[in-house]
Amino acid sequence: MPVEASFLEGALIYLSAVLIVVPLFKRLGLGAVLGYLVAGMAIGPAGFGFIGDVEATLHFSEFGVVLLMFLIGLELNPKKLWDLRKPIFGLGTMQVAASVLLLTLAGILVGLSPVVALAAAVALAMSSTPVALQSLSDRGQSKSDMGQLTFSVLLFQDIAVIPVLALVPLIGMEAGDSGGGWLGALKVIAVIVLIVGGGRYLLRPVFRYIAATGLREVFTAFSLFLVIGTGLLMQQVGISMALGTFLAGVLLAESEYRRELELNIEPFKGLLLGLFFIAVGMSVDLSLVLEQPFLIAAAVLGLIAIKGVVLYMLGGMAGLMRQERILHAILLVQGGEFAFVLIALTSAAGLVPPELAAFLVVVATFSMLVTPIFLLVYDKILLPVFFKTEEPETDLEAKEDHIIIVGFGRFGQIIGRLLISLKFQVTVVDNDPNHIETLRKFGYKVYYGDGTRFDHLELAGVAKAKLVVLATDDKTALVETTQMLAKHFPHLPVLARAKNRRDLTDLLLAGVKGVRRETFASSLELGELALQELGYSAHQAYRTTQRFRLYDEKMLMASVRYKDDQKSLMEYSKRARGQLERLMGADHDEIYKQDKDW
């Protein structure tokens, strides 16, 4: 029997489940959303039965979705929409339309009525924004062409959800009774006009008045009042609360108070949205998995196959390489968080039978659970295969008496511009085809090549090079390339970039002739400005920072011998800090005296 817990006991159970499961899933790379879902399964009626009233929890936690839609509205300022208009409203529209069409046909083929099949298809056509964006961020591909396409599709899905959330209750009301008619429609129009007009002409003066109090808690209270009030106003005329809060968010997207609103709403959104996913997990009928495992597996694989084909073809239309199209498809094949919202809404409106709604929730949940597995297969099996088969032919040209720069990002470009401006012969090598294409548009001659491959370096003319500069941000690749060059070309000078002191030590031991920390010089320059603001003359500040640099680099070189002895390294660091303070103190008086004489 499920245990009916009191409010505080229930809160403690929810928080305990979150604190135990969600960090574990994040550490395993499975994402917070899946962690919330599994936590809900564990504490719900199908798990340990700690919480029995799932409906009450789900109803309360839907406010998290309302807050999410408000924040989405805040992000959708007109300029951002205009910049991404083609991928959002072109490819995004095609993805949603094609997925809904094919999923609807699949539903009709298995015996569902057209209306029920369409409702289920709309819910499952949406993808998981947190899963996709977090995976892109972890791979550092958020700004790539594939990342921008994925973001655009997700953004259109977020926009497409709004009319669906608004229409489903109306369709449900029409199916139940036809009362209301034109009067109901006029009420809806009047409320929307009120929200738009009030948002444009009244909210800013009110915000100014609230902000003038200087009380953060009052601003937070008004932010919540705005979201709740707008949502309830829409609900009174039979429209989803999410539509009202979305409109309010869009109206405030270009307001000077937008950032403050985000900061105030975000914590509540995160907690309540997490509670929503927990409630969804609690509502998952695990007995269905035991009763119909093959049917559920077929449904999950069918969903993934249909959406995967659509997404793969759209990636091709967008000009992505084959491995990018596959990753784009994997990131978006699953059902998303809005699937749970739409399934609950269509079920409440009487469009989807409760038994089918429970089945769809299980399918959407397990499609999310298997996404990390597909990403693992992509990384470990598919990517190496396609990287080898689709790697662009290197266009390197052997030169003599030249300088090779491996990696032409922000760091490498500064070195390259300096050397090119002085008429040195420079061969630039980079392994990102999209980055190379962008650089060539700006007039740079950059060749495709992998700096860790000996054959590519040979084609670049490394045997007759004067110098090699390693400017990539991949420490493993830097060390491997340095060791390879030291083995085959021991007399060739190699300079390298390091992220921190540990990387610098590893590169020195690997055999580089010179290495610089990527942020050290700029940090010293800012420190020099700080000294001037604190009363040092320009000459004093410059000489002081140069002395600091000299001592720091000497101490860093001395610490190399302790690389593998953590205890000795910590003891040396403590002694070195004390020594640095004494040296800088002694030099301060000397610099001050010389500066007066100078």
Give the pLDDT confidence of 4-61 residue by residue, as tens digits. 446 677 778 878 888 888 888 777 766 677 788 788 888 877 777 777 666 666 666 6
Please report the pLDDT score of residue 376 as a whole number: 77
Instruction: Tell me the average pLDDT across 267-289.
Output: 74
* Arithmetic mean of pLDDT, 348-365: 83
* 243: amino acid identity, one letter: L
Contacts 24+ apart (CB under 8 A), 374-383: 374/304, 374/330, 374/333, 375/135, 375/330, 375/331, 378/326, 378/327, 378/330, 382/323, 382/326, 383/323
Interatomic CA distance for residues 224 and 486, integer angstroms: 62
pLDDT for residue 101: 92
**pTM recorded for the entire structure:** 0.55
pLDDT of residue 140: 65
Sign for the CA dihedral angle at 239, 240, 244, 246 comes to negative
Question: pLDDT (tens digit, 9 = 90+) per residue, 496-537?
Answer: 988 888 888 888 888 888 888 888 888 888 988 998 888 888
Cβ-based neighbours of 525, under 8 Å, separated by 6 or more: 545
The number of helices, as runs of H, and strands, as runs of E, in the chain is 28, 6
Predicted confidence (pLDDT) at residue 404 exceeds the cutoff of 80: yes
Measured CA to CA in angstroms, residue 568 lies from 559, 562, 565 at distances of 9, 6, 5
481: buried, middle or exposed (CB in 10 Å: 19+, 13-18, 0-12)?
Answer: buried
Across the beta sheet with 465-470, what order do the strands follow? 446-448, 426-430, 402-406, 465-470, 494-498, 514-517
Q: What is the structure's pLDDT at 398? A: 52
* Spatial distance between the Cα atoms of 559 and 439, rounded to a whole number of angstroms: 39
* Antiparallel, parallel or unpaired: β 465-470 and 402-406: parallel
Is 394 a residue whose pLDDT tops 60?
Answer: no
Higher pLDDT, 166 or 205: 205
Question: What is the band of 495 on the pLDDT scale with cuts at 50, 70, 90?
Answer: very high
Q: How confident is the model at residue 358 (pLDDT cuts 50, 70, 90)?
A: confident
By mean pLDDT, which of 83-87, 177-181, 224-228 is the weakest? 177-181
Q: Is the pLDDT of residue 159 over 80?
A: no
Could you give the C-alpha distances from 115 to 118, 151, 307, in angstroms and in order?
5, 30, 20
Residues facing 426 on adjacent strands: 403
- Say yes or no to pLDDT of 575 above 80: yes
**Residues 579-594: pLDDT tens digits?**
777 877 776 666 655 6
CATH numbers and ranges of domains, the chain: 7-386 (1.20.1530.20), 402-597 (3.40.50.720)
Q: What is the pLDDT of residue 169?
A: 57
Over range 572-582, report the average pLDDT: 79
Q: Is the pLDDT of residue 550 over 60?
A: yes
Q: How confident is the model at residue 79 (pLDDT cuts 50, 70, 90)?
A: low
